[in-house]
Structure 1
Amino acid sequence: MNDTFQTLPPLRRALRQLADSYGLQTETRARLVLSAGAVAHPELQSGHNITLTTAYQPGTPEQAAHLAVSLTSSSAKALLHTAGLALPAQIVSERTVTWHIAAPSPTGAGKPGNISQPLAAEQTEAEALEEELAAALARADSYAAEHRLLKHELAETNSGVLALYIQLEKRDEQLRQAHGQMLQELEDALRPHPLAVNGMELAVHYEPAGAHAPTGGDLYDWFHLPDGTVHITVVDALGHGITSTRSALNVTHAVRTLALEGHPLSTIIARTDEILMPFDRKLMATVLLARINPATGELRLANGSHPPALLIRPGGRADYLNVRGRGIGYPMAGSEAVLHTTMDPGDLLVLYTDGLTESRRDPIEGEARLVTSARHRSNSPTASIPGLIAQDMHTVVLHSDDTLALIVRMDCQEK
């Protein structure tokens, strides 16, 4: 086919006839007519002619059959544009644009050499427009139905994903709780049972830095010595988690062994360092040792880089019992001396780790606040005092750390 047109309507009719001859779908026909009209219209308005040329390429096993439709302007200075066409086209030259369209084999009037036909009447043109509009509406309806279906499927998928996410969140929380419970049971197993002592009351509170990691390096131990005195060990091993727990446990076991073997209180910290360091060169821990005679109230303290014990008298007097020394893993580990004093009836001794006083990164302020809290809570039942003090000290926490508070009260009945 090779025809020349001076106006747009005959060109459109020829394109529709061509599309029907080659069995193109109505939608493809409409896109071809719209696209060709958009390309030809500016040239026809300028008084130039447009030549329509077609070529059919039969199909082969390697390539499908296709129809080539070309428009060529008679103007030597033509510049045909293809941007935004309903049916994409290829610019062959500045004067020619070609569409390559997949097409079945031509039949009837569409056979090669018999494509030119009389142009359709006006009624046929109107019918063709209605047919193309109906095809466009049908495709739009199809797209709308597909869109609704996709939205429905997407909603179901989102619902399923959300349900799965919630299920995974619940499962994750259950695993965290189970993990925390397991670690808590382990931590409880490592801590000694409450110690019953005539004439003396003891209580302890432990609070981990993280709710889901209840193990840490803050540990204590208390037990009776053969002479009837009570030995108390408070340890704060460097770090958090299982590793620091193991370090603290090694320290308490070594101290207990040395104490039960009868080693002097003044030498136990240094001997513990000598025993443990060959096995763990990275171990670092502060240690506070207390010996109390329940019958006489005699108190002895040894310290290895640990926060000092606090003694609250019934009248409100507060004294920090400072003893110089260096902890396990420190150079020249050991307590430089042993502090001797006496606890009278009603006296309250507070042993703790630095997580209690350094929550605001100011140890001096923390020690002052601890005195205030201990005085305020000193008349509370002994079992509740450590937890109440920790509650007071942690009203604002800028530096989260494991916390241990241990209380000893002489000859005081709970109210």
Structure 2
Amino acid sequence: MTRDTVRTLHALRGTVRRIAITHRLPAEARARLVLSLSDLCAAPLSSGRLVTLTSDRQVGRDGTEFLTLRSSFLGRSINRTAVRRLPLPGEITPCGDFVWRLAVPPLPLPPDPDTPASPGTGPPGPAGALTPHTSSFAAGPAADMALVEEELRAALDHSDALAAELSLLERELIETNSGVLALYVQLEERDQALRRSHGQVLRDLEDALRPRPLNVNGLEMAVHYAPASDDSPTGGDLYDWFTLPDGTVHITLVDALGHGVTSTRTALTVTHAVRTLALEGHPLDSIVARTDAILRPYDHDVMATVLLARLDPTTGHLALANGSHPPALVIRDDLTADYLEVRGRGVGYPSPGSDRVLTTTLHPGDLLLLYTDGLTESRRDPVEGEARLIDAARRHRSHPTAAIPGAIAADMLGDALHNDDTLAIAARLLPRPSGGGRL
């Protein structure tokens, strides 16, 4: 153990360097130790107080050597605020001293006389300067300058190493970000492809559930369907049409509660039940109630609005039954418009069934439009939607029948505030041949 008492800052730095070199501390650790003690002891030394440095070399249980350096102020306590900013951390003892415990590097192996010296090795630098592995110390201005330069060079090397490591980390971060971005783009493209594939499969299934086009003399019909979104191309809006044995065309519109595959299943169940009852010859005004009676025991959650229409293409006789569904719209040849209102409650509603059957006659050139509420409630105001539907139907009634439902839907949904499944069916009688013969 050695103990040194210093009175000036210059003597303090020289003593610290001598201790550091004696115990083979690296240049960077030596520089940090000199700066730390200079910051810590500058104030007491400038006020004329003494600073005592006690150094002791010890061996740990694992055989590692370490240096204990204790700094004691005679008559002055340590400034704890300044301690937190020291270049080399240490600890304050209960008696107010400041202590560093530093690992001592092991002695280097002696050089092999048969091995040529490597570049940069050889005798010490300028006169009086000693390397960190020197066991003696020579004082003097030249030696002090050499040691300061060595400490500065060590600091610069450390700074350059940190800068190189930072540059490497930045490059790796850029490469990682590029890889993550490329992976994200790839996953997004794959997700979009899966969505498109999934949507196409569902659309194919939806189309497979729809009835085939009817070829009826004297009657033109067309349909337009659009889902609430491309991500969910199936929905609860479904239709069915077929010809009864007497030549009358039966049309069913169903709007099941909800969206997606579940509502499609409900709508399909309702249309199949209606078709069975209609082909069995049940009266039109009883079919909605009978459908509810058939399905309710098997599915307590079934709920759907229903509109039934029967049109005789020869006479133009039209009969309508309704279960909570939007009314049919007729645009006459003279552009007058009529909503064919029939009261009733849908399947799954309390007291289901149509209150009556409404009958009217369509003439050649008249346009019949059957639709679901997604067409008129896209702006959340059914009254406004019904008025806009009349205007759109009048604008497009002179178009070919096949283009009318899609053109009307485009007008109604162009500024939609609320997206919903949309279904529209247009039907129009053709002019009869001269002489009144049947087509």
TM-score by length of structure 1 reads: 0.94
Contact 1:75 1:95 in 2 (8 A): no
2:4 matches 1:8: no
Residue equivalent to 1:68 = 68
Residue equivalent to 2:148 = 129
Residue equivalent to 1:396 = 415
* Partner SS, residue 355 of structure 1: coil
* Partner SS, residue 187 of structure 2: helix
- In the TM superposition, what are the counterparts of 1:113-262 in structure 2 within 5 Å? 120-262=139-281
* Partner SS, residue 302 of structure 2: coil
Structure 2 vs 1, CA of residues 347 and 118 (structure 1 numbering), >3 Å: closer, same or farther? closer
Alpha-carbon deviation of 1:78? Answer: 5.5
Match of 2:345 among 326, 334, 337: 326
2:392 matches 1:373: yes
Structure 2 vs 1, CA of residues 316 and 30 (structure 1 numbering), >3 Å: closer, same or farther? same
- In the TM superposition, what are the counterparts of 1:349-360 in structure 2 within 5 Å? 349-360=368-379
C-alpha distance in 2 between matches for 1:267 and 1:97: 100
Structure 1, 72-81 or 118-127: larger mean CA deviation: 72-81
Alpha-carbon deviation of 1:275? Answer: 0.3
- In the TM superposition, what are the counterparts of 1:41-52 in structure 2 within 5 Å? 41-52=42-53
Alpha-carbon deviation of 1:148? Answer: 1.1
Write the deviation string for residues 96-125 of structure 1: whole angstroms up to 9, x where unpaired: 111111213579xxxxxxx99776211100
Residue equivalent to 1:111 = none
AA aligned opposite 2:71: L
AA aligned opposite 2:398: N
Contact 2:44 2:76 in 1 (8 A): no
C-alpha distance in 2 between matches for 1:213 and 1:105: 72
Match of 2:429 among 405, 410, 413: 410
C-alpha distance in 1 between matches for 2:105 and 2:60: 8
Residue equivalent to 1:110 = none
- In the TM superposition, what are the counterparts of 1:13-52 in structure 2 within 5 Å? 13-52=14-53
* Partner SS, residue 27 of structure 1: helix
Alpha-carbon deviation of 1:65? Answer: 2.9
C-alpha distance in 1 between matches for 2:19 and 2:60: 18
C-alpha distance in 2 between matches for 1:40 and 1:152: 43
Residue equivalent to 1:307 = 326
Structure 1, 393-402 or 30-39: larger mean CA deviation: 393-402
C-alpha distance in 1 between matches for 2:79 and 2:288: 96
Alpha-carbon deviation of 1:91? Answer: 1.1
C-alpha distance in 1 between matches for 2:426 and 2:313: 14
* Partner SS, residue 400 of structure 1: coil
AA aligned opposite 1:221: D
Structure 2 vs 1, CA of residues 70 and 152 (structure 1 numbering), >3 Å: closer, same or farther? same
Write the deviation string for residues 375-395 of structure 1: whole angstroms up to 9, x where unpaired: 111001111111111111112
Structure 1, 115-124 or 73-82: larger mean CA deviation: 115-124
Residue equivalent to 1:89 = 90
Alpha-carbon deviation of 1:94? Answer: 6.3
C-alpha distance in 1 between matches for 2:17 and 2:324: 98
- Aligned pair count reads 405
Structure 1, 369-378 or 116-125: larger mean CA deviation: 116-125
Counting aligned pairs with the same residue, the percent is 57
Contact 2:22 2:135 in 1 (8 A): no
Contact 1:65 1:103 in 2 (8 A): yes
Contact 1:43 1:78 in 2 (8 A): no
C-alpha distance in 1 between matches for 2:195 and 2:380: 30
Q: Gapped runs of 5+ residues in structure 2?
A: 109-133, 433-439
Structure 2 vs 1, CA of residues 78 and 197 (structure 1 numbering), >3 Å: closer, same or farther? closer
Match of 1:277 among 286, 296, 319: 296
Alpha-carbon deviation of 1:72? Answer: 0.5
AA aligned opposite 2:74: S
Contact 1:219 1:404 in 2 (8 A): yes
* Partner SS, residue 427 of structure 2: strand
AA aligned opposite 1:222: W
Contact 1:22 1:106 in 2 (8 A): no
C-alpha distance in 2 between matches for 1:178 and 1:76: 81
Alpha-carbon deviation of 1:25? Answer: 1.2
Residue equivalent to 1:112 = none
AA aligned opposite 1:310: L
AA aligned opposite 1:69: L
* Partner SS, residue 214 of structure 1: coil
TM-score by length of structure 2 reads: 0.89
Match of 1:287 among 306, 315, 334: 306
* Partner SS, residue 366 of structure 1: helix
Alpha-carbon deviation of 1:76? Answer: 4.7
* Partner SS, residue 375 of structure 2: helix
